[in-house]
Chains A and B, each alone.
Chain A
Amino acid sequence: MNFKLKIWRQANPKTPGKLVEYEVRDISPNTSFLEMLDILNETLVKAGKEPIAFDSDCREGICGTCSLTVNGEPHGPDHPGAVCELYMRKFRDGAAIIVEPFRVGSFPLVKDLVIDRRALDRIVQAGGFISARAGSAPEANSILVPKHDADLAMEAAACIGCGACAAACPNGSAMLFAAAKVSHLSFLPQGHPERDSRVLRMVSVMDAEGFGNCTNTYECEAVCPAEISASFIAKLNREYTRAAMQRSAGE
């Protein structure tokens, strides 16, 4: 298969970037999208040019490192799945493909298609955890968790932290990301002691990092490689309201 690519090139955050055209030929339909970029990079190196910088690591959709916008969609057209799980057989032969980084104000660009997503780590650092010192945990089966709750917690916990939700959102909101963590921990009895402070602090850091608000466009859910449901955002809102009211009532 042959493709006409337009790829975002930008040497560093200070210089302006632009879309540059490339062509790739004789690509097997079983090649993954990132392998197609590997092949292109190989030819660029051979020609003495600088290869295109893009992030990836596990290449099986779980580490959340890859972060490309393909034809305007974070992770490309094959949902659900990260762009490392996208295969060229999903495109028609000769197709023109535009490749850009995730575009979010809170994810500054590093180079070409690589972005800095440390803002997401800072949201978790604000309270996305259960304080449990190694050595003081009770016997595991002394904590009963109804299967339904455990399943819901797992569904939320499946988030891979890629940031596609924020990239797809017209408001650049990271609500789905924050909601997944808040929901995961609040569905479990172990998460209850820190339930209020967790949601209040995470939301406040999320705002401070410059992420926008949710206006229910559901774009996040549509592109999420881990199929996190937007209904968790409703859960986040409930958790937040509950905590805020308890705080204001002085409890």
Chain B
Amino acid sequence: MIGRFDAKIPPGPLDQKWRNHLDHSRLVSPHNRRKFEIIVVGSGLAGGSAAATLGELGYRVKCFCFQDSPRRAHSIAAQGGINAAKNYQNDGDSVYRLFYDTIKGGDFRSREANVYRLAEISNNIIDQCVAQGVPFAREYGGLLANRSFGGAQVSRTFYARGQTGQQLLLGCYQALCRQIAAGTVQMFPQTEMLDVVLVNGHAKGIVTRSLYSGKIERHAADAVVLATGGYGNVFYLSTNARGCNVTATYRAYKRGALFANPAFTQIHPTCIPVSGDYQSKLTLMSESLRNDGRVWVPKRKEDRDRAPREIPETDRDYYLERKYPSYGNLSPRDISSRAAKEVCDEGRGVGPGGRGVYLDFADAIKRLGEHTIRERYGNLFEVYEKITGEDAYKMPMRIYPAVHYTMGGLWVDYDLMSNVPGLFVIGEANFSDHGANRLGASALMQGLADGYFVLPNTLPNYLAGQMGKRPSSDCPEFREVEVGVRARIEKLLNINGSRSVDSFHRELGLLLWDLCGMSRHEKGLREALKKIPELRTEFWHEVRVPGNGDDFNQSLERAGRVADFLEFAELMCIDALERDESAGAHFREEHQTADGEALRDDENHAAVFAWEFQGDGQPPKLYREPLNFETVHLTQRSYK
């Protein structure tokens, strides 16, 4: 293995680990920082905040994104909010409680030390965002407002209407713009990273392709930071933007970085149901809607085609409130999603194809008035009407679970460095904080924690020993990687088959949704592991990529990404098969309690599964990082 497989959790009591670590970390002095070049790939909440903060500290930063502007990174689409342990509501919140809710929400498959640090930093994030002008919702007295999210019994979520991700991202985009103007950050929009370059076992640069001109370039640096988001688009249909992909992290995996827990994929319970096979993406309806909306299906199958308003109260099954009375409609995402699948499997689902449940606002409108509901969720109701043509003030929304977020990602230690020295991974691209299931309003928190506060303090630990070791981008290692990148592009362009890139992607997505989606079983996973390589072979023989490589060519961009998805999908299924237990969003049908809840196997599987690439066609090698729980007591998760 390249580098070390050691989480490097600092010693000491949980609540002092981060402080102790900072006290003993190495530093790079201000006059030396400009001697270091840092590459940041991705400009979302994690990458954007990291690039801006590192630039401000005095490092020379190059930031890359495939979008035409850093402001369009997919963090922009996050709706509901961001958690912090401020306890502004005086409702019993604390750093410990946010930590505990996150560990429990993740079904005890994340590191205590990382999650505790996240909860500690959450408060600094809110301070930082307010200072840079993020227009959070406020009370009449001018103080910040909060709302509740799934998996918590306190109101700790800060929000900016239904556009919290947009506002937080614009905050860090603006900070990034300031650094670009100051000359500390050089921005490369419309530029896709196609491989990472290792020199003497250290990550020292990347090879990129300009999407406008097709130009291939080599960039050398002292360290490489990947902030390239999640891989939810492996399922084709997801709430992710069309461009989201696994290429950066998968290329790093093929160069020796370990990929952790790839099977942990989150299915979000409240999305607009699929309406046809031409559909290009699924749209999320924020979890915040579950504060006021009630989820139900008819008690009897026969009622499923009846108009919802004609079904009397006594014939409705508010199944979340029934099964989980204390959390009710705000039960965590994995549990709510499976419950929806279960009632639809029973034939009680509503809408076309029977794959939908109602999210009903009638009671909230009666209680609070339509005006209040409009003020809280107006934009979401508009989006719903645009897509479905239905008015959710008059009739309940129909929702169904959809792929939304990926907890798995590249393995990192406490410093957020992968096993490859010099390769740091932040935000959704790493695996570190959400275990087997992420709670709502925690992705924004993690992205910004990593970028504003963790990475800027841990990166010097690596850099301090690297002064003067930046190679030239002309060295043989760079040339060799560039040759590989060019060869792959040529190969894709010369297949000249008969099928479009999207048709392969769609087929892969359907296969994974069926066999490695909301619930999984051994037989299905083995079937997927047989079918994926077949589809991959067909892709490399039958795909048609029109146009050429030295031009703006969207088919080529997608072809490269889908080719990586076709390999990555296999890793995901291998991990899902190996994890012979149910945990959070990873539900193995063989392992469930009598009432259908996920049944963990703490004795054998309380561990991070980290996979090492062994060569094309070879099975990957598994490393297990045991999870040691010193503070929390492992329990069967209960939201009843």
Contacts and interface: CB of A to CB of B under 8 A. Distances in A.
A131 B178 contact: yes
B177 A45 contact: no
Contact of B275 (A30, A34, A111): A30
B472 interface: no
B177 A124 contact: yes
B544 A45 contact: yes
A60 B503 CA distance: 22
Identify whether the interface residues of A are mostly helix, strand, loop, or mixed: loop
B452 interface: yes
B280 A154 contact: no
A87 B387 contact: yes
Interface in A92-139: 110-111, 114, 116-118, 120-121, 124-126, 128-139
Contacts of B52: 134
Question: For chain B, which range describes its interface: under 10, 10 to 19, 20 to 34, or 35 or more residues?
Answer: 35 or more
B639 to A, nearest CB: 29
A59 B131 contact: no
A145 B138 contact: yes
A249 interface: no
Contact of A137 (B130, B500, B502): B130
B72 interface: yes
Interface stretch (A46-54, A213-221, A230-238): A46-54
Interface in B54-110: 56, 67-72, 74, 76-77, 86, 88
B280 A121 contact: no
Interface stretch (B159-167, B410-418, B624-632): B159-167
A158 to B, nearest CB: 6
Interface string B177-198: 1101100000101000000000
Nearest to B123: A140
A140 B72 contact: no
A152 B260 CA distance: 44
Contacts of B67: 57, 63, 65
Given A28-B278, A32-B280, A154-B160, A134 B143 contact: no
B181 A185 contact: no
A153 B144 CA distance: 14
Interface stretch (B302-310, B419-427, B525-533, B546-554): B546-554
B131 A111 contact: no
B114 interface: no
A35 B280 contact: yes
Given A62-B76, A139-B127, A145-B138, A188 B278 contact: no
A49 to B, nearest CB: 7
Given A38-B280, A42-B500, A49-B546, A63 B131 contact: no
Interface in B491-508: 498, 500, 502-503
A141 interface: yes
B453 interface: yes
B178 A89 contact: no
A121 B138 contact: no
B502 A42 contact: yes
A78 interface: yes
B383 interface: yes
A61 interface: yes
Nearest to B189: A118
A60 B281 contact: yes
B374 to A, nearest CB: 14
B131 A147 contact: no
B72 A147 contact: no
Contacts of A137: 124, 127-128, 130-132
Nearest to B75: A63
B181 A125 contact: yes
Given A28-B278, A130-B174, A191 B241 contact: no
Interface in B127-166: 127-133, 135-144, 160-161, 163, 166
12 contacts: A12-B552, A32-B387, A60-B281, A60-B383, A62-B76, A132-B131, A135-B124, A135-B453, A147-B139, A158-B163, A161-B72, A188-B135
Interface of A: 12, 28, 30-32, 34-35, 38-39, 41-42, 45-46, 48-51, 53, 55-65, 78, 81, 85, 87, 89, 110-111, 114, 116-118, 120-121, 124-126, 128-141, 143-147, 150, 153-154, 157-158, 160-161, 184-185, 188, 190-191
The 9 closest A-B pairs by CB, nearest first: A144-B142, A129-B174, A137-B131, A132-B131, A137-B127, A154-B135, A153-B135, A57-B241, A132-B132
